[in-house]
Amino acid sequence: MESDKRVIPQIKKIVGIKWDKTLQALHLPDNAISLERLNEIDTEIQFNAKVVHDVFCSITEKRLYLQISVNKDDIEFVKSLSYSKWNGNAYRWELPNYSHHLPKIRQYFGIRLLERDLRNRKPVYHDFDNPQAMVKPLKTPDYIPSYLNRFEQWMEYRRYSESSIRSYTKSIRVVMSFLSPILPEDITEKDLQRFVNEYLIPNGYSYSYQNQIVNAAKLFFREVLDTSFDVEKLQRPRAQHKLPNVLSKAEIKQILEPIRNVKHKTALSLIYACGLRRSELLNLRIKDIDSKRHMLLIRNSKGNKDRIIPISDNVIKLLRNYYQLYRPVKYLFEGQKVGTQYSETSLENIIKDARKRSGIKKPVTLHWLRHSYATHLLESGTDLRYIQELLGHKSSKTTEIYTHVTEKSLQKIQSPYDDLFKND
C-alpha cells in the first residue's frame, strides 16, 4: 500500500523501536513519547496498535521461569540477574525467586510481561521429613522483603551458593513472619526460642531444618543486623546420627546393567565410579578430564573447593565411547541444545527409571551412589583419610560415618548367641 511506504520509514525513526522476527511485529516503548510520535506521523491513518505480551514469567516458591523472545538487550538484562541460567531442554531462563528479582523483572519488561503465579495452586506442605503434615503458611509483612534483600546481597557478595542463599533467606522469612510485628532489630534470643517451641516443634519440622534456621539466624543477626544479643548463644538441636543409605555392589550392577541409553548409563556410572555429587556431575566440562594422567578435576565444589579424583581405564573407555556418540561441546553432559547444561530434573528421572527397571524396591537416589562409592572403598581397604579427600569432606568426622555401615567390619562381630551352640 502507498500509505505503508510513506508511514513505515517515519515509524522506524521513533527512538527505541525494534522489529521482532518471531512475532513479525514492531515493538515500541510504552510511553508518552512513543504515542506522541505516532500521532504526529499521519492523522488520517488508524494504527492497529495493541499491547503484545512477549515475556512470560511463571512464579513458584523457589524459582522464576522466564520465556522471552530472542532479543539481545532482554537477554543481557536476564543474564545480569543473580544466578540466572538458560535451560536448553525447556527453552527458558531459570533463576531463584529472590525478593529483589521479581520487582526488577516487572520494572524492566513493563506491560510486555505476563505472569503466572503458581505458588497458591497447591496446599503448602513442609518439605523436609514429613510431607503428610500440613503447615499453615505464614503471611509475610510488607517490611520484611527489604531485610531479605539486604541478606541476599550480603550472601551474594560473600559468594554463597544459589541453594544456600535460597534456603537461608527462606528460613529468615519464616522466622520474621512468625515473630511479627516484632521488628528484626528488636528480636532476642528468647524470641527465637519461642519460634522453635511454638512453630517448628508443633509442626513436626526436622532436626536438619532447625539446624538450618540456627545457621541462617547466626548469619543474619550477626552480619547483616549487627544485633545486640549474642547470636553465638543460639543453641542447636541435639545431634542426630543417621546412617547413610548404601547399596551392595550387586545392586549397583543391577541398576546400571539394564540401561541402554549410553548417556544415561555414563552419567550414573560416573557418579558411582567417582563418588560425585549431583551438581559436580552437571558442572563437569570436557577440559576437566585428563585421560593421560587418569584424573578427573572437580571445580568449585561444595565450599568452593577443587579436588582431583583418579579414574580407571574402564571409566576412560566409558567416557570415550560416550564422547564419540554425543560429541558434547562445553559441558560433559549437555541438554538438547548444544552447549547448555544438562538439567537436574532429567538426571533425577534417570535414576528413577533405572531403579524401576532394576526391580529394586528401595527408594534409591543419586546420593545413594555416592554413599555406596565411599563404603565400597572403605571395605576394599582404602584409608579413611584418602576417602575424605576423594569425597571433598571438610571434616574427617563426616567421612567416619561410613565405618558404621561397612560389611567387613560388621561381619567380624560374632553374636554371643552363637556361643551357646558351639558344642552342638
Q: Is residue 10 within 8 Å of residue 47, measured between CB atoms?
A: no
Q: Is residue 263 within 8 Å of residue 324, measured between CB atoms?
A: no
Catalytic residue of the set 101, 126, 166, 393: 393
DSSP 381: T
Catalytic residue of the set 168, 322, 373, 402: 402
Asked about 101 being catalytic, the answer comes back as no
Can you say how many angstroms the Cα of residue 334 is from the centroid of all Cα atoms in its chain?
A: 17
Residues 327, 333: Cα–Cα separation, whole Å = 10
Q: Is residue 185 within 8 Å of residue 225, measured between CB atoms?
A: yes
DSSP-assigned states of every residue in 80-145: HSTT-EEETTTTEEEEE--TTHHHHHHHHHGGGEEEEE-TTSS--B--SS-TTSB-PPPP--TTHH
Residues 257, 362: Cα–Cα separation, whole Å = 17
Which residue has 533467606 as its cell numbers?
Answer: 169
Nearest Cα residue to 172 out of 198, 145, 208, 199: 145
DSSP 279: H
Catalytic residue of the set 27, 218, 277, 307: 277
- In sequence order, the β-bridge partners of residue 298 are 307
Question: Residues 410-418: contacts with CB within 8 Å, 24+ apart?
Answer: none
Q: Is residue 172 within 8 Å of residue 220, measured between CB atoms?
A: yes
- In sequence order, the β-bridge partners of residue 305 are 301
Catalytic residue of the set 101, 278, 370, 371: 370
Catalytic residue of the set 18, 37, 299, 367: 367
Asked about 302 being catalytic, the answer comes back as yes
Asked about 305 being catalytic, the answer comes back as no
Asked about 126 being catalytic, the answer comes back as no
Residues 240, 38: Cα–Cα separation, whole Å = 69
Asked about 277 being catalytic, the answer comes back as yes
Beta pairing class for 55-59 and 63-68: antiparallel
Residue 197, class by beta-carbon neighbours within 10 Å (0-12 exposed, 13-18 middle, 19+ buried)? exposed
Asked about 402 being catalytic, the answer comes back as yes
Say whether the peptide bond before residue 181 is cis (omega within 30 degrees of 0). yes
Say how many CA atoms lie within 13 Å of 376 toward its Cβ.
17
Q: Is residue 187 within 8 Å of residue 227, measured between CB atoms?
A: yes
Radius of gyration of the chain (CA): 28
Catalytic residue of the set 37, 302, 352, 357: 302
Nearest Cα residue to 255 out of 371, 346, 353: 353
Grid cell at residue 291:
585421560
Residues 239, 210: Cα–Cα separation, whole Å = 11
Question: Which are the catalytic amino acids?
Answer: 277, 302, 367, 370, 393, 402
